[in-house]
Amino acid sequence: MDQCSPKERGVKLVASGRVEVRVRFAPSPTGELHVGGARTALFNWLFARHHRGKFILRIEDTDVARSSENFYRVVLDSLKWLGLDWDEGPEKGGRYSPYIQSQRLHIYEKYAHKLLEEGKAYLCYCTPQELEDYKRRLEKEEPLRYSGKCRNLSSEERKSLEAEGRKPALRFRVPPGTVWVDDLLRGRVSFENRLIGDFIILKSDGTPTYNFACVIDDSLMKITHIIRGDEHLPNTPRQVLLYCALDFPILRFAHIPLILGRDSSKLSKRHGATSVSYYRGQGYLPWTMVNYLALLGWSTSDSQQFFGRDELIQKFTLERVGKSAAIFDPMKLEWMNGEYIRRMDLDELVNLLIPYLRRADLIEEKMDSATRQKILKVARLEQERIKVLSQIVDLAGFFFTGDFAYDPIPVEKRLKKDYVPSLLEEMRMRIEALSPFEEKELEELLRRLARDFSLSPSEVFHPLRVALTGRMKGPGLFELAGVLGKGEVIRRIERTLEMHKNSL
RNA sequence: GGCGCUAUCGUCUAGGGGACCAGGAUGGGUGGUUCUCAGCCAUCAGACCGGGGUUCGAAUCCCCGUAGCGCCA
């Protein structure tokens, strides 16, 4: 067993079972929050809530060139929208603030110097170009790792390198031996130190590398469990080495499987729609997103599909997280959103629909109660059809404007029939005389009309549907006519008759 | 190139030695309900990566391959 025994050190933490669970999500503000990140955040959040612990948000923005204030905002917004509230972090503060790495540089520096003084790290003057060249010269069989060139420089050598104007980076001196990671999902994973190679902890510009900053922050912030994506597993032995060197306790790890794109490569921009804000904009409900993401890599023994918030928190455990990567399936996400929309309270649905109707200019900025009533009726009719909120514009736009475009296919199939003009003409007259104008009466009228014209009911219904909506599909004909009202129905029949005259 | 992880229907998954001729969900097919679509109901097709072991018995345990993915820059 090594002098720095992960087992030995890990035990302290396990034994003290009463310690409050503290987990963190540590995004880099170098892009929008994508579904993979959201899922990692979610698992951390669920774990924290399940154990009545703390969920901490930390911003890893040491890559100044790629980080932006804008993305920082988007990431925070997306988390809030999903309902993943954090107990400590930006905007919230906490005992271990600041929670933004760029404001913690002095801390990393302090620990870096400690390691330097103790001889556990050393200055490296190699330039990126030299390292690149070295790598290229490596034998095929050799692992890619640092040569150790600057490991044992004399002070004279250092002076002369510095005289050349070289800015040193700080490298960690990897001791001989073996490290292992006791992963909650995968068991013990061992790594040989000699294959790791001395790695950089402080770049020549003084900023810390991911592994270093991460170790310092997680330790100082008293994190108990690191739940993060699988892609970090190969980084973990480096971090374990650092915990040892810094005399920090080794935390518990759980590397959760990645989310992949359709082509089963790691989800990225080129897979198209992957950001949380995209799905938000399209009209996915936040809870759909949470529910769906929870099912990517986690499941219950009965493969339950739908969960309420408290139920999910109560049922979520790391033990039931799978080990293999999962492909993100937009189809199932859409289905689930449709399910949640169908279960939604009608008034709530109306509220969610309004911004989309407004953006499409189908309703006025200021809304009177009659309009709201109408939206409510429309929502009732479309609720079972709509899967994503933004679809309301396409599905139900015709309710709000008489000036919709006619879909050419149904026009061809249903309107361009010889019997249609005289049928519509007669229909218009009879509807005009119809009182009251109610669904039941309208249906009777149309069925009688069919008999009088020796047509099947469908041969009457279909042309009217196209005349009223411009399309072949949609809610029930009588229901939608009821929402439109007598005047509008007559107007649209006339418009169709007019169109007929012109095209024939 | 080295190291690591993973491997059940197209996809998400249940399964942790016999209860599995492998269950659920999604997606797809078919039929029914209906003015269309959606929904709902019914129904069909669809998987244990390959090979060796261990065992009376393996999707389940071990080994070796293979493949996918990830990390190291």
For A175-218, the three-class secondary structure string (H helix, E strand, C coil) is CCCEEEEEECCCEEEEEEHHHCCCCEEECCCCCECHHHHHHHHH
- pLDDT value of residue A13: 45
pLDDT at position A17, please?
Answer: 56
Q: What is the pLDDT of residues A288-310, one digit of tens each?
A: 999 999 999 999 999 999 999 99
Rounded Cα–Cα distance for residues A43 and A228 (Å)? 9
Instruction: Please pick, among A12, A159, A269, A332, the residue that the annotation labels catalytic.
Output: A269
Q: How far is the CA of A119 from the C1' of B56 (A)?
A: 62
Give the Å distances, CA to CA, from A431 to A411, A426, A464: 22, 9, 12
CA–CA separation, A20 and A473 (whole Å): 56
Per-residue model confidence as pLDDT tens digits over A190-233: 999 988 889 999 999 999 999 999 999 999 999 999 999 999 99
Q: Which nucleotide is nearest to A232 (CA to C1')?
A: B71
- Taking the C1' atom of B25, which residue's CA lies nearest? A305
Task: Say how far A291 CA is from B25 C1', in Å.
Answer: 13
Q: What is the DSSP letter of A417?
A: S
ipTM of the complex: 0.95
**What is the nearest nucleotide to A382, using C1' and CA?**
B38
- pLDDT tens track for A364-409: 888 889 999 999 999 999 999 999 999 999 999 999 998 888 888 8
What nucleotide is nearest A333 when CA is compared to C1'?
Answer: B26
- Which tokens go with A235? 């980084």
- The whole-number pLDDT of residue A15 equals 43
Confidence of residue A99 (pLDDT cuts 50, 70, 90): very high
Query: Stated in angstroms, how far is A325 CA from B51 C1'?
Result: 25
A102: pLDDT strictly greater than 90: yes
Nearest residue to B12 via alpha carbon and C1': A296
Average pLDDT over residues A172-195: 91
Q: Tell whether omega for the bond before A98 is within 30 degrees of 0, i.e. cis.
A: yes
Q: Say what the pTM is.
A: 0.93
Contact A415, A502 (CB under 8 A): no
Q: What's the Å distance between residue A502 CA and nucleotide B37 C1'?
A: 29
Residue A361, pLDDT > 80, answer yes
SS3 content of chain A, % helix, strand, coil (to 5): 50, 10, 35
Contacts for A377 with CB less than 8 Å, ≥ 6 apart = A482, A483
Mark residue A283 as left, alpha or beta (left: phi above 0; alpha: psi -120 to 50; beta: remaining). left
A374 is catalytic: no
Q: Please check the confidence at residue A6 and state whether its pLDDT lies above 50.
A: no
User: With 80 as the cut, is the pLDDT of residue A170 above it?
Assistant: yes
Is A356's pLDDT higher than 80? yes
Is A159 in a helix, a strand, or coil? helix
The continuous run of DSSP H or E covering A122 comes out as strand A121-124
Q: Which nucleotide is nearest to A332 (CA to C1')?
A: B26
| Cα–Cα nearest to A204, from A173, A230, A179, A169 | A169
Q: What does the pLDDT read at residue A203?
A: 92
Q: Which nucleotides of B are covered by protein (CB under 7 A)?
A: 1-8, 10-16, 23-27, 35-39, 68-73
Residue A110 host element (H or E)? helix A105-117
Q: Chain-centre distance of CA A252, in angstroms?
A: 25
- Stated in angstroms, how far is A426 CA from B6 C1'? 69
Lowest mean pLDDT across A53-62, A122-131, A256-265: A122-131
pLDDT of A435 higher than 60: yes
- B72 closest protein residue (CA to C1'): A144
Geometric angle at alpha carbon A62, from A60 and A67, rounded to 5°:
80
